[in-house]
Each structure stands twice: as structure tokens, then as C-alpha cells.
Amino acid sequence: MTVRDIVPCFAVMVILFGTMTFASNVTTVESGKVRGVSQDGVVSFKGIPYAAPPIGNLRWRAPRPAAHWKGVRSATQYGHDCMQLPFPSDAAPLAATPGEDCLVLNVWVPPGQGKAKLPVMVWIYGGGYVNGGSSPAVYDGSQFARQGVVFVSFNYRLGRFGFFAHPALIAEAGSGPAGNYAFMDQIAALKWVKENISAFGGDPGKVTLFGESAGGGSVLTMMTSPLSEGLFERAIIQSGGGRDGLGGMPLMSAQSSNGRPSAESTALAFAQSKGIKEMDNAALDALRKLPADQIVDGLNMASMFQAAGTYSGPMIDGKLIVETPQDAFLAGHEIKIPVMIGANSRDIGFSAARNVSDLMAPFGVSKERAMAAYNPGNSGDVGALSTVVAADQMMVEPARFVAKAVAASGQPAFEYRFSYVAVSMRKEWNGAPHATEIPFVFDTLKARYSNSLDPADSAMAKTANAYWAAFAKNADPNSDGIPKWPPYNSATDMLMDFTNSAPVARADPWKTRLDLTEGLANKHP
């Protein structure tokens, strides 16, 4: 090969890899050495095991320590996302193949990292606890790293792998927790961060845990679980609920009582659907030998409500989860830390109301006030109206409830509403749907709106990313160059509204209807 042959090949490599290099990005964690990759100054380490693969006899067990390895392990590619059935309309499509060997995490390190320890952000993805992963491009942590934050994302078990309370498993666990394996994974990942993040320049005493939807519900779980004390110092909850459910999913009891459906009864129903009727270790052996796709059994975001008879989701197990978020905050049992929390202007909610009268009936003596607040034009469109009412009950008012509780405990609380709609979608959306804040928070708009970006979108993404990073640094979202965000105070009910024009701090314009929704929640705890 001549020099004339080599030069074009080198040019092609530059085009393909840009400024990416693969040299000397090595650090040491508990299990061994890992080599990451540098791109535009940010070093990323992907697919690092934080626990042993939960396969074979470790299926439906608490996570075990990751095995040690010799030499330097390549950490340049995402590991498996956890086993699931992806669904086509997912706004955060997976970039890795799902599999049971999935308990891995990823770390992004700022360019030019010196000796000073930097704040850490740990991300928990959403997906209704049945879908999701750390590999989607929209969750890339590079922009947070450029803000001077060490960023971590990780995978946790989903669906029946993550939530399964067969009575034989409860017996096998003895005095330990059983059923909520997804949350056990999250605790294991947070422990790994505490023990290893210093190797990446992060401060283990300055960890902000944040997540959206099921990820936001997971943050609430970590804030109210007796098993997660001391693992993080700040929390951000995006559309995570906060009353009697987690990320919109109601909590079941682990074991049966009073004939009500329980996580135990749904696990038994699933086992019986596979011809497994035993109640002892023989049942566990048979269940652990089932192929992974038979455990998934068609379960995903599109089918989860139809699968309610054989799938529980999160449960009150008496050890990891001992009460609902509402009960925990009302009793002051939550971890006392600064919190940033909010929901979107057209967030998610579910209603079975057949007409407007059905929809307003639960407000009782306040029915007419509710009608005036929610339906001032007397619209007969129950579909659109019920979504708004249900979203207030599932996401919007619970966010205010948590902000109130945190502020009342003496901790800083900052409430937001994300109302910004990408310019290309404004003719289609009359508000910001569930999860649409994520590419703005991460400043990863190209992953979501690659062919339709407007300068206004990019400006909003820079601003949102700056608020989130500032909170991780200072337990306060305020920093130079962005509008002032006041802490929440129930007397003023101020929040930061990310409007189509700019972020605006103002008294909540939805106060009347949220007060009515709060009255409903207090009436039916």
C-alpha cells in the first residue's frame, strides 16, 4: 500500500470517527480496570457491571456483587438493556438489544477533569416499569458532563423480572426483601456510585438522583424507603406522581389480604398460566428455567393494563417499600433533602368517565366549582377534558403535594411546569405531552427532532439543561444568565413555567383546579 492509498483511507476514518479517540481513558473500579472513549473532550464509560447478571439461579434474587475481571475491560459500548418487549411508538427507542444480563451502568466525565471532586447526577429512566433502558440517544449524558457534572445512568430489571412475588420467592428471601427486584437493583446501583464514583472524579457525598415517569416514581421510592438512606443528597422528580402511586402505577400489597388482588396472586396466576402449580422450590426451579421471552409474555407499555391479572408492578413489601409516598410524606418519613419536582402541561392520565357529568361527579359538593375550573366553555369533549382532569390527579397535583411537603419539612423545594412545545409540533400539540421535556433537560434535541430543530428549541434546551445542572451543583436551580426560580412556598404557590416564550416564574395559574384535586386526594387517602 502506497502513501497515496493511505491518505484517502485516513480521511474516511476522520469522517467516520470525528474527534473520537480510544487511547488511555482508563480508570479502576472495585471489579477491575475499565477503558472508556473520549469524544469532543467528554469521556464516557459504558456497560460497566454494577452487579452480577441476574440469570439462571439469580433470576428473582437481590443483586449480587459483580465478578472481578483481569486486565482492562472495554467500556465503549452500551451493555444489554433489561429484558422487555419494545414497542414501536417509544419516544426513547433502545440502542441496545434487551437481555437478562443487563445490570450495567454508564458514566460520562467532564473534559479536563482536575483534582476537585465534581457533583454527580444519577438518572433513572421511565417506561412504566415494563420498558426503557439507559441506551437511548436522548439519555446521552454528554451535555451534563459539559456543565461540570459527572453523569451516571444504569439499567434495572423490568416487568415480571423486576416485580414478582411468588410465595416461594417470599419464603426463599426469609427476612430480606422480595418482589421489588427493580428497586433492589436501583439501590445496588446507588451503592456502586457511592463506592466507585471517586474514580471518575465525582463526589460521592454530592449525588443528585433524578428520573422521569417510572423513573420519577423510583426516585420517590428511594426517598421513602428505609433501605436507601445515605445514598443520595438531592432529588429531581419529573412526572413521577407522589400520592398513592409511583410514576402513575398504583401500589399493590405484596401478599393477599381481604380477598383483594395482590402481587402474590398475580404471580401465582402467571405461574399457573405456564403450567406451574407448585408452591415450593420446585415452582421456583421451573420458573427460573422458563425462557426469558416467556417471562415477558407480550408485556409492554401497550399491553400492561390487559396483563393486570398476571403482572403486579411495584408493591408494598413491608421491607423496601413500607407505605405509599403520600403516607410517607404526610408522616414525615421521607429522606430530608432538597427536591426539584414538576410535571408537563399536557401530562399523562387515565379516566373511565363516559361523559362530563361522570367526570365531575367525584368532586361532590364542589362539582360546580370543578366544572367552572376545568370546563369553562362547557365543552362536551369528554376525551380531551378527562385527560386533563386525570393528569392533574396522576401527575400535576401530586408534584405540588410533594413540593409542599418538602418545603414544610424545612428543605428547599422547587416546582416546575414544563409547557414548552417544540416549534415543529405546535400545530399538533396544545401543550407539552408526557416525557417531552426529556430532550430539553438533557439537551439532546437532535435525537428527538433531528430534521425539525428551531433555534428557539435549542435555546430552551440550553436553559433547561443549565437549571438541572445548577441544582445538582448547589441544591438550587439558579445560576447566572437564566431567569430567577424562587423556591416553593405554599403561601405564594410559585413555580417555574417553561413556556413557549421563556421560563417564567409565576403563581400557579392552575391553583383553583389543583386545590379541588387536592381536596379529592385528601378525601380518599
Closest CA to 100 of 272, 275, 246, 290: 290
Q: Give the count of alpha carbons within 13 A of 4, CB side only.
A: 0
- Quick check: helix, strand or coil at residue 275? coil
Tell me if 167 sits within 8 A of 160, measured CB to CB.
Answer: no
Q: What is the 3-state secondary structure (H, E, C) of 422-440?
A: CHHHCCCCCCCECCCCHHH
Domain boundaries, the chain: 21-250+317-349+387-507
The position carrying cell 437478562 is 100
Quick one: what percent of the chain has pLDDT higher than 90?
A: 86
| pTM metric for this prediction | 0.94
Cα separation, 432 vs 498, whole angstroms: 10
Residue 18 has pLDDT above 50, yes or no: no
List own/partner pairs for 168-176 with CB under 8 A and 24 or more apart: 168/278, 168/279, 168/280, 168/281, 168/283, 168/284, 169/60, 169/267, 169/284, 170/254, 170/255, 170/264, 172/281, 172/284, 173/62, 176/62, 176/319
The answer to whether residues 389 and 516 touch, using CB atoms and an 8 Å cutoff, is no
CB 382 within 8 A of CB 353: yes
Average predicted confidence (pLDDT) for the chain: 93
Half-sphere exposure of 174 (CA within 13 A, CB side): 1
Compute the average pLDDT of residues 164-181.
96
Q: What is the mean pLDDT of residues 494-521?
A: 97
Where do we find the cell 450495567? 104
Q: What are the pLDDT digits (tens) for 325-357?
A: 999 999 999 999 999 999 999 999 999 999 999
> Stretch 7-23: mean pLDDT, rounded?
37
- Whole-angstrom distance, CA of residue 186 vs CA of residue 202: 19
For 17, 107, 356, 418, the CA distances from 383, given in Å and listed in that order, are 49, 42, 9, 22
What is the spatial distance between Cα 481 and Cα 459, in angstroms, rounded to a whole number? 12
3-state secondary structure 452-464: CCCHHHHHHHHHH
Tens digit of pLDDT for each residue in 70-124? 999 999 999 999 999 999 889 999 999 999 999 999 999 998 766 789 999 999 9
How much is the pLDDT for 14?
36
Q: In terms of C-beta density within 10 A (0-12 exposed, 13-18 middle, 19 or more buried), how is residue 182 classed?
A: buried
What is the structure's pLDDT at 17? Answer: 36
Confidence of residue 259 (pLDDT cuts 50, 70, 90): low
Amino acid 524: pLDDT: 59
- Which residues lie across from 236 on neighbouring strands? 210, 340
pLDDT band with cut points at 50, 70 and 90 for residue 380: confident
Whether 374 shows a pLDDT value over 70: the answer reads: yes
Q: Which three cell numbers stand for residue 27?
A: 480508570
pLDDT of residue 39: 93
pLDDT of residue 111: 85
Which range (16-25, 34-43, 132-141, 437-446) has the least confidence?
Answer: 16-25
Position 172 pLDDT exceeds 70: yes
- Distance between CA atoms of residues 186 and 191, nearest Å: 9
The amino acid that residue 493 corresponds to is: D
For 21-250+317-349+387-507, CATH number? 3.40.50.1820
Residue holding cell 400539540? 429
Query: 470 and 248 in contact (C-beta within 8 Å)?
Result: no
Which phi-psi region, left, alpha or beta, contains residue 132 (left: φ > 0; alpha: ψ -120 to 50)? Answer: left
What is residue 244's predicted lDDT score, i.e. its pLDDT?
Answer: 85
Per-residue confidence (pLDDT) for residue 12, from 0 to 100: 38
pLDDT of residue 439: 98
Calculate ∠ Cα 508-467-201, nearest 5°: 150
pLDDT at 88: 87
Q: Which three cell numbers stand for residue 152?
A: 451516571
Distance of alpha carbon 415 from alpha carbon 404, whole angstroms: 9
Tell me the pLDDT band of 257, cut-offs 50, 70 and 90: low
Angle between helices 367-374 and 511-523 (to 10 degrees): 140
497 pLDDT above the threshold of 70: yes
The β-bridge partners of 209 are 122, 235
Give mean pLDDT, residues 370-396. 91
